[in-house]
Amino acid sequence: MNNIWILAVIVGLVCLVPSGAAAPESPVCTWYFTAVGCSNCADIDPLVLGDWLETYPDLVVIEYELYEHAGNAPVYDRFIGQYNLEYGIPLFFISPDSALRGVRQITREGPTVLNGIDGEVGVLHLASLRIAELEGSPKIWCRDRILIRSGAGGDDALLRQVLVADDVGVALEGHVVAPCEPDVVKRSGSGVAFDHAVRVEGWIVQWRGAPLRDPVSPVLSAPSGESRMMNGTAPPHTLPKIVALAFVDAVNPCALAVLALVLMSVMASSAGSPRRVLWAGIAFSAAIFIMYFIYGLVIVSLFSLAAEVAGMRQTAGLILGSFAILLGAAQLYDARVAGTGKSVTGMPEGFRSTVSRLVASISSVPGAFLIGMLVTVFLLPCTIGPYIIAGGVLSPMGLIATLPYLLLYNAIFILPMLAITAAAGLGLGRTERFSAWRKKHLRAIHALSGVIMLVFGFGLVTGLF
């Protein structure tokens, strides 16, 4: 009988303990889709990845950055499809019933949802999160620390403990780690600094506070080049893409034909003065360079704006690749009909007479520069295709980071112009001979450009590039 009473007392005491204390829930996991370079994300990143982590210590934010990490786009796509959401970033997902999108909704409704998150249906708790199986390149934020994927695999139990432990160093004791220098983790419009960092089982752990108790640990192999892209600015293979597109644009027969007309006009008005021809060609090429550089900034900005407003980033590769394939097919068609006047990539017939009149009016070096700036408007229909694709490729980087690539693109674009100018101005060849050569090899120029664009387009569509 005494044993029965003792058991009853124990059961009663257990029942008096609040359920939350008896079986506390682990932190709640949320998903945050953002992008470095997105102006709206710049307003929300400091809130979700800063203030809320301090206000809600049991909040875990799984961040997927979309502009600099192309591999995260499929994760975003599946999220949108699975939960029937609208495209657009920033997107803060708490549960199927609480998916907040845009600056206004996140700032207004976020605190209310987070304050009542214990009663939220469908939330995922950290104890159930399989961290090692997360797709893409996630960054997992909690309190004053972050997990950054640097390779494959990972020990779920250890990684979960690292996120919630009062002392990260204690959580890592007894595990193989490699101390490393902490990187500033990029947010849109800012960065977050940490005091310490280690590599552990496919992840980088960064945190603020006390260092490791035992800084001497077995060193793991360095992460692959692909995984070190986490703080980079350029998508994979950006440089060869830009060089290939610039090459196709540089050998465009349309632009080279206009240059030949410019040089012949200057030669006719200056009694064939080589020096004047040389400077006129340089001035014309400089005008093309400046104007096309400005056009490039506009194109990149428009792509970035479209990505913010319409959520196009996740389908950009497909759109740009399809456009490149169409351009390649058009170039191959022009190769077939070269010399017949049926070109589909050349300057529209209505523009040609206007351009001819403008070019014929050139009689000085300043005139060549001014006319060059005007002529770019008429050159756009036959030269803008590869440039649009290049702008789409560069747009995930943010406007400032694209500047070196735009400079390189346009330097390659005007390189043939400068070569022809030098040949004519230095007496190494007559402009008429170049015009004849261009007409003779027009078919080959179109064919080569078409093949390059087709290969490039299929690479973008299939994800090879």
Q: Following DSSP, what letter does each residue of 160-205 receive, concatenated?
A: HHHHH-S-HHHHHTTS--EEEPPPPEEETTEEE--SEEEEETTEEE
pLDDT of residue 431: 56
Say how many C-beta atoms besides its own lie within 10 A of residue 301's C-beta.
Answer: 14
Q: Is the dihedral of CA 108, 114, 117, 123 positive or negative?
A: positive
Could you give the C-alpha distances from 259 to 244, 252, 342, 409, 421, in angstroms and in order? Answer: 22, 11, 22, 18, 8
410: tokens are: 């346009």
| Paired residues of 125 in beta bridges | 28
Domains of the chain with CATH codes: 20-231 (3.40.30.10), 238-462 (no CATH)
203: tokens are: 């992840």
CA–CA dist 377, 198 (Å, integer): 54
**Tens-digit pLDDT profile for the chain (465 aa)?**
455 444 444 444 444 444 333 334 578 899 999 988 788 888 999 999 999 999 998 899 999 998 878 778 888 888 888 888 888 889 999 888 888 999 999 999 989 888 887 656 667 888 888 888 888 889 999 999 999 988 877 888 889 888 988 888 788 877 778 888 888 888 887 888 999 888 888 889 999 888 876 644 443 333 443 333 333 345 667 888 899 888 888 877 666 677 667 666 666 655 556 777 788 888 888 988 999 899 889 888 887 776 555 445 555 567 777 777 887 787 787 777 766 666 666 655 666 666 666 666 666 778 778 877 877 777 666 667 788 888 888 877 767 888 999 999 999 988 888 887 787 766 655 555 655 666 666 677 667 777 777 776 776 666 555
180 φ/ψ angles, rounded to the nearest 5 degrees: -145, 170
CA–CA dist 256, 438 (Å, integer): 8
H or E element that contains 296: helix 274-310
pLDDT digits (tens, 9 = 90+) for 61-89: 999 998 878 778 888 888 888 888 888 88
CA–CA dist 272, 280 (Å, integer): 12
Strand 28-34, strand 59-65: pairing: parallel
Could you give the C-alpha distances from 94 to 73, 128, 160, 261, 378, in angstroms and in order? Answer: 19, 15, 19, 63, 51
pLDDT of residue 265: 67
Nearest residue to 416 via CA among 233, 248, 222: 248
Angle, in degrees to the nearest 10, between helices 39-46 and 103-115: 20
Max intra-chain CA distance, the chain: 125
Close Cβ partners of 332 (under 8 Å, ≥ 6 residues apart): 446, 447, 450, 451, 454
- Please list, residue by residue across 311-340, b when 16 or more beta carbons sit within 10 angstroms of its beta carbon and e when fewer do: bbbbebbebbbebbbebbebbbbbbeebee
pLDDT of residue 464: 57
pLDDT of residue 227: 36
Place of tokens 């595990």: 175
CA–CA dist 252, 416 (Å, integer): 10
- What 8-state DSSP symbol labels residue 219? P
39 φ/ψ angles, rounded to the nearest 5 degrees: -65, -40
- What 8-state DSSP symbol labels residue 426? T
Which three-class secondary structure state does DSSP give residue 270?
coil
Angle, in degrees to the nearest 10, between helices 442-462 and 431-440: 60
Angle, in degrees to the nearest 10, between helices 365-394 and 399-425: 140
pLDDT of residue 230: 34
Whether residue 296 contacts residue 409, with contact meaning beta carbons closer than 8 Å, is answered with yes
- What 8-state DSSP symbol labels residue 27? P
